[in-house]
């Protein structure tokens, strides 16, 4: 049973070694000649107007979370559509319930004004 996971473990180890090796090679072989210009903060070629540690409006995060939520919904639909003939009526109704829950959530967001940008 655990022998089935050996290729995955080897893949992970090789990936970590290659990634770590590339980082180490860049650190060891890369030039280190810092000066005041290279160490200065960069914002379109001129000094920053204000602090970079400003708080963002919560609506940015809300829109991002809503995008991820509905993007994942679409990601579930493609594999379901491929295996739908094997699932039969049960698979259809399970996905129908899933989509109904998502539609109810979408309507709730719409009514609460989460999609409005003022």
Per-residue model confidence as pLDDT tens digits over 10-55: 999 999 999 999 999 999 998 888 887 777 766 566 666 667 677 7
Q: What is the span of the domain harbouring residue 26?
A: 2-112
Burial of 66 (0-12, 13-18, 19+ CB in 10 A): middle
The domain spanning residue 89 has which CATH number? 1.20.58.1610
Task: Specify if 12 maps to a domain.
Answer: yes
How far is it, in rounded angstroms, from Cα 35 to Cα 27?
A: 18
Task: Specify if 79 maps to a domain.
Answer: yes
**Side-chain half-sphere of 107: how many Cα atoms within 13 Å?**
6
Task: Specify if 117 maps to a domain.
Answer: no
The label of the residue with tokens 């590339």 reads 22
What total number of domains does the chain contain? 1
Query: What is the pTM assigned to this prediction?
Result: 0.49
Task: Specify if 118 maps to a domain.
Answer: no
pLDDT in tens, 43-68: 566 666 667 677 777 778 888 888 88
3: DSSP letter: G
The label of the residue with tokens 């959530």 reads 105
Task: Specify if 33 maps to a domain.
Answer: yes
Task: Specify if 42 maps to a domain.
Answer: yes
């Amino acid at each position: 049973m655990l022998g089935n996971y050996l290729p995955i473990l080897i893949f992970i180890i090789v990936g970590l070694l290659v990634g770590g090796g590339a980082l180490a090679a860049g650190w060891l072989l890369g030039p280190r000649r810092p000066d005041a210009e290279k160490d200065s903060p960069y914002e379109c070629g001129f000094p920053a107007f204000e602090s970079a540690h400003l708080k963002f409006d919560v609506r940015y995060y809300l829109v991002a979370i809503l995008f991820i939520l509905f993007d994942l919904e679409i990601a579930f639909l493609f594999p379901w559509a491929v295996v739908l003939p094997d699932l039969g009526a049960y698979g259809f109704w399970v996905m129908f319930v899933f989509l109904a829950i998502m539609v109810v959530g979408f309507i709730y967001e719409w009514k609460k004004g989460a999609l409005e940008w003022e």
